[in-house]
Amino acid sequence: MTDPDVLSVFFVVLATMTANYVARRLLDRLARGIEKTRTIWDDALLNAARQPLALMIWVLGISWAAELVAAQAETGFGDMVEPIRYIAVVGLIALFLFRFVEQTERGFIHKGADVTTATAIGKLLRISVLITAILSVLQTLGVSVSGIMAFGGIGGIAVGFAAKDLLANFFGGLMIYLDRPFTVGDWIRSPDRQIEGTVEHIGWRLTMIRTFDRRPLYVPNSIFASIAVENPSRMQNRRIYETFGVRYD
């Protein structure tokens, strides 16, 4: 590399460091400004953007510097820089969206939103982001996404038989989120099974119930599709049986 080329790489790295510093100071100033607001969206957006933004600046700067070096070296490495940069950018955007969904979910729960609903929406959004990012990366690598979709229709049958119990638990958890027979914090019991306690967590495969003797009970979600579940936490009235002794003289 000639001296002008080295100088160009140096300026790219210097510009990257400067942009990173300016972005960090700007985010700090914005953080002080939004402390007075009561909405959760700006806090979630700012907290989610800090790490991905810094990494994005460095990825772009290093990739541009690598392109300059590869152009002068006249190697095939330059053809690899753009796909690598695209994959890194997609990954960082997915990381930002993951963090934004997580921060928003925590904010709604902190403000008193229903834990079960907030958790379910957060999980669905994260799964959507993950699938979109994976398909985008595969398309960049030259993999036919339409071929994967076609294979999914055929291979999905075989996978469905192999993972029958897993899918049953997944859809069981989905129905719990949709039908809402109980939520986190409810006291439930089943007359069909020895299940009674307080719901502490509803996952996609298992529901964790804390029994009254403080033992954790993990119940597959598919079980709730075939048993009756009582939810005493939603009772509006109580029937009380009392025995009175009457004295006769």
> What does the domain layout of the chain look like in residue ranges?
3-162, 177-234
- pLDDT (tens digit, 9 = 90+) per residue, 15-37? 888 888 888 888 888 877 777 77
Q: How far apart are CA 104 and CA 45, in angstroms?
A: 8
- pLDDT (tens digit, 9 = 90+) per residue, 41-55? 878 888 888 888 888
Specify the range with the lowest mean pLDDT, choosing from 9-23, 64-78, 144-158: 144-158
- pLDDT (tens digit, 9 = 90+) per residue, 159-217? 555 556 777 777 788 788 878 888 888 999 998 888 999 999 888 788 999 999 999 99
Specify the range with the lowest mean pLDDT, choosing from 63-77, 129-143, 182-196, 226-240: 63-77
- Mean pLDDT taken over the chain: 81
Rg (CA), the chain: 28
Residue of 209, 128, 127 whose CA lies nearest to 176: 209
Q: Are 174 and 184 in contact, with CB atoms under 8 Å apart?
A: no
Q: How far apart are CA 174 and CA 180, in angstroms?
A: 10
Tokens of 190: 């089943």
DSSP string, 36-101: T---SHHHHHHHHHHHHHHHHHHHHHHHHHHHHHHHHHT-TTHHHHHHHHHHHHHHHHHHHHHHHH
Q: What share of the chain in percent tops pLDDT 90?
A: 12
Question: For tokens 């509803």, what's the residue?
Answer: 202
Specify the range with the lowest mean pLDDT, choosing from 61-70, 125-134, 178-187: 61-70
Assign domain 177-234 to its CATH architecture. Answer: Roll (2.30)
Tell me which amino acid residue 207 is: T
CA distances from 38 to 35, 76, 104, 248 (A): 8, 53, 13, 68
Q: pTM of the predicted model, to two decimals?
A: 0.63
